[in-house]
Structure 1
Amino acid sequence: MFISDSIESYLEAADTGTTYTRRTYRTAMNLFQEYLKQREIPPDASVLEELDVDRLLVFATWLLDEIGIGKRTLQTYLAALAAWTSYLQVRGWLPFSAQELARFQDGLKRIRRNQRPPELLPYPPRQEELELLVSAARETVLRRPGDKREQLAKLRDIAIVEALRCTGLRVGELVSILRKQLEDQDRAVWVTGKRNKVRRVYFDEQAWGTIHHYLQARQSFDGATGRPLSELPVFARHDKKSGSKVLPLSTQSVQNTIRRLAEEAGLGAKGITPHALRHYFATRIYQTTHDLAVTQTALGHESPNTTRIYAKLEDNAVRDAHKEAFGSN
C-alpha cells in the first residue's frame, strides 16, 4: 500500500472529535507527506515498507527546525502521527516489528517530555552484524530438506541479503529486476528508482555469484513457464500459491525475510531492515571515497541534501576518534 493511500484511509476513518481537531490532524499528515517528499520518499509512489522508526521520529525535528512550529502544536501533530501508526497496526499494515514499535513509542514519549528530537543520522549495521545476517541466510534449516521450493527460497534469500549488502538498492528496485537486466561483464544492472531516475548499480563478486547460483538452481522452473527467460524476474516467489508461475517477490516479502533472518541471527533488537542495509552501503561508499557526489549517484538520490547525512555520520566518527585520542571534549 502506498503511504499516501494509507494516510487518506486513516483520515477518512479517524474519529478525532471536533471539526477543528480533524482539520489539524489533516494538516499534520499533509506536513508529514511534505517531509517525506523532501527525504525523497514521495508518499504517492512509496510503500509503507520504506518507512522506518528513525524517519518517523525525525519528523519532529523537521517540524521544529524547518517549519518552526511551537511545542504545543508539535504535541498535536505527533498525536496525529501516533494515531496513524495505531490505525496501521490494528489493520496489520504497520511494517514494524514489536521491538521497532516499542522504540517508536518510547521515542514519542521522550519528545513529549520536551527532550530534543533526534537528528536523522543513520546507524548502519556493523560489519560483524552483516556477517551474522549472511550466515543466518546460509545456515537456514529447511523444514522439508527435499522440497525444491524451500531449497530455492533459501538460495534466493542468500542472494537477496548479499545483493542488498553491496548495492544500496531500494527494495522496490530489487524486486523489479528482470533477468535481461543482468550484465555479467561488469556485474551490474540498470535500475529505475524514485521519480524515474535511472542509475547503474554494481555488485561484488560474492553477491553476483549467489544470484547466478540461485538462477541456475531455478532453471527447471523458469523453463516450464513458456516465457522468454529474459522477461522473468531475478528474485521470484517460491510459495505453493505461485504454482508453476515465476512471479516477482513483493516488497513486503523482502522486508519479512530480512526481519526473520535478523531474528535468527540474534539481531532482532537492532532494527535491521533493508533500508538499514542501504545505510550500510552508503556509509561504506562515503567512508571510502569521501565524495558526496559519488555517494549521491550510487544511492540514486535526487538531492545532495539527502546524502549529506553520511558526511554528518563521518563527522561523528571523527569526534569519537578525537575523544578517544585526547579525552573528553
Structure 2
Amino acid sequence: MSLAAEAFLEMMAVEHDASPHTIEAYRRDLTCFDEVCRARGVVSEAAGEADLSAFLQSMSARGEAKTTQNRRLSAVRRFMRFLYADGRRGDDPGALVDGPKRPKSLPKILSMDEVRRLLTVAEEAAEAGGAAPARRSALLELLYAGGLRVSELVSLPESAVNDKREAMIVRGKGDKERLVPLTEAARRAVARHRAARGPSPNRYLFPARSREGHLTRQAFARELKALAAAAGLPAAKVSPHVLRHAFATHLLVNGADLRVVQTLLGHQDISTTEIYTHVQSDHLVAVLNDCHPLA
C-alpha cells in the first residue's frame, strides 16, 4: 500500500469518521486496484482513464458481481478525488469512467394490512402471557414504530426507552444518535415486556445469553419468521429489513415529507431515502389500475 493510499485512508478515518470496517474495505479495494495497475506497469497514484477501465475489465473477467465492481470503482474514484484535491495530481480520471449498469431493485415491503396482521398476532400472544411473546411483541412494535435497523433494535440499551420521554434514543451508523418518536402501542408493549422480563441483568432492553449480551439479529429473525407463519404470511416474505422498508413506504404513502423519513431512518444522504418514492409510485399506479373506471 502506497503512502498516498495510507494518507487517503487516514483522511477517511479522521475527516469522515469512517468505521474500521469501512476503512478495511477501502484498503482491500485499493489493493486490488494497485495490483491491476502494477501489472500494467503503472503506479496507482498515476493511473489514468484506461487503467480504471482495465480495472473494471479485470473484475468482470473474474466474475465479480456488478455491485462489487461498482463498490470497488467507487473506492478508487474517491481515492482519485483525494489525490486531485490534495494537489498530488492535476486531473481526476475517476469522473470519466462509468461503472457497470445494474437493474434497480426496489425494496420488498409488506402491505399495511399484512403489518397489522403481524402486530395483531404478536399482541394476542403477548396478552396470553409469557416473557418470550411479550418480548417479541415489543421488538415488533419498536421496529415498525421507528423503522429501526435490526442491529439498532436488538442492541437498544435499557435507557433508550423512558416513560418520561415520548421518543427513544437510537444509536445508528457512525455511532450517531437520533430521536425516534414512539407510538403508544410501542410504549405499552415495552412496559409489558419489562414486567414479564423483570429487572434487566445488564444494560440492554432485550438481554440474552449471547456474546454481545443482547438478543442476536439471527434469533429475532427466526422469531419473526415464526410469527409470519402464525399470521398466515409467507415466512420468506418477512424479515426485519422488510419491516423497515414498510415503515418508510407507509409513511410516504400517507403523506410524510421525505426529509422527515430520512431523519427517522437515520440516512445521511437523502438519495438513499429517495428509493422509497419509487415504491410509493408503484403503489399509486397499482391503486389507479385497480380503482380508475377507465383503467
TM-score, normalization: structure 2?
A: 0.63
Change (3 A) 1:269 1:151: closer
* Deviation sequence 1:152-185 (CA, Å, 0-9, x none): 1121011111111211011110112111222323
* Deviation sequence 1:88-121 (CA, Å, 0-9, x none): xxxxxxxxxxxxxxxxxxxxxxxxxxxxx5x322
Identical amino acids, percent of aligned pairs: 28
Counterpart residue identity of residue 131, structure 1: R
Q: CA deviation at 1:290?
A: 4.0
Q: Separation in 1 of the partners of 2:168 and 2:195?
A: 18
The correspondence of residues 271-290 of structure 1 with structure 2, limited to 5 A, is 271-290=237-256
Counterpart residue identity of residue 125, structure 1: L
Look up the SS of the partner of 1:289 in the other structure: coil
Q: Which has the larger radius of gyration?
A: 2
The correspondence of residues 54-133 of structure 1 with structure 2, limited to 5 A, is 67-68=99-100, 117=103, 119-133=104-118
Counterpart residue identity of residue 121, structure 2: A
Corresponding residue of 1:259: 225
Residue 294 of structure 2 corresponds to residue 327 of structure 1: yes
Q: Separation in 2 of the partners of 1:36 and 1:137?
A: 42
* Deviation sequence 1:31-87 (CA, Å, 0-9, x none): 2655999xxxxxxxxxxxxxxxxxxxxxxxxxxxx7235xxxx8xxxxxxxxxxxxx
Q: Count the aligned residue pairs.
A: 219
The correspondence of residues 1-329 of structure 1 with structure 2, limited to 5 A, is 24-26=62-64, 30-31=68-69, 33=71, 67-68=99-100, 117=103, 119-140=104-125, 151-219=130-198, 222=200, 225=201, 232-237=203-208, 242=209, 247-268=213-234, 271-323=237-289, 324-328=291-295
Maintained 8 Å contact 2:69/2:99: no
Change (3 A) 1:171 1:263: same
* Deviation sequence 1:232-281 (CA, Å, 0-9, x none): 211122xxxx39x9931111111111112112222125611111111121
Gaps of 5+ in 2: 1-20, 29-57, 76-97
Q: Separation in 2 of the partners of 1:27 and 1:314?
A: 28
Maintained 8 Å contact 1:171/1:251: yes
Maintained 8 Å contact 2:138/2:186: yes
Q: Separation in 1 of the partners of 2:156 and 2:281?
A: 35
Q: Separation in 1 of the partners of 2:284 and 2:274?
A: 15
* Deviation sequence 1:288-322 (CA, Å, 0-9, x none): 33411111111111111111122222222333344
Q: CA deviation at 1:191?
A: 1.4
Q: Separation in 1 of the partners of 2:221 and 2:189?
A: 19
Q: CA deviation at 1:22?
A: 9.9
Look up the SS of the partner of 1:263 in the other structure: helix
Q: Separation in 2 of the partners of 1:36 and 1:127?
A: 36
TM-score, normalization: structure 1?
A: 0.57
Q: Separation in 1 of the partners of 2:212 and 2:66?
A: 42
Q: Separation in 2 of the partners of 1:327 and 1:67?
A: 42
Change (3 A) 1:127 1:22: closer
Change (3 A) 1:30 1:181: same
Counterpart residue identity of residue 296, structure 1: Q
Q: Separation in 1 of the partners of 2:235 and 2:74?
A: 25
Q: CA deviation at 1:186?
A: 3.1
Maintained 8 Å contact 2:73/2:99: no
Q: Separation in 1 of the partners of 2:154 and 2:283?
A: 34
Maintained 8 Å contact 2:154/2:206: yes
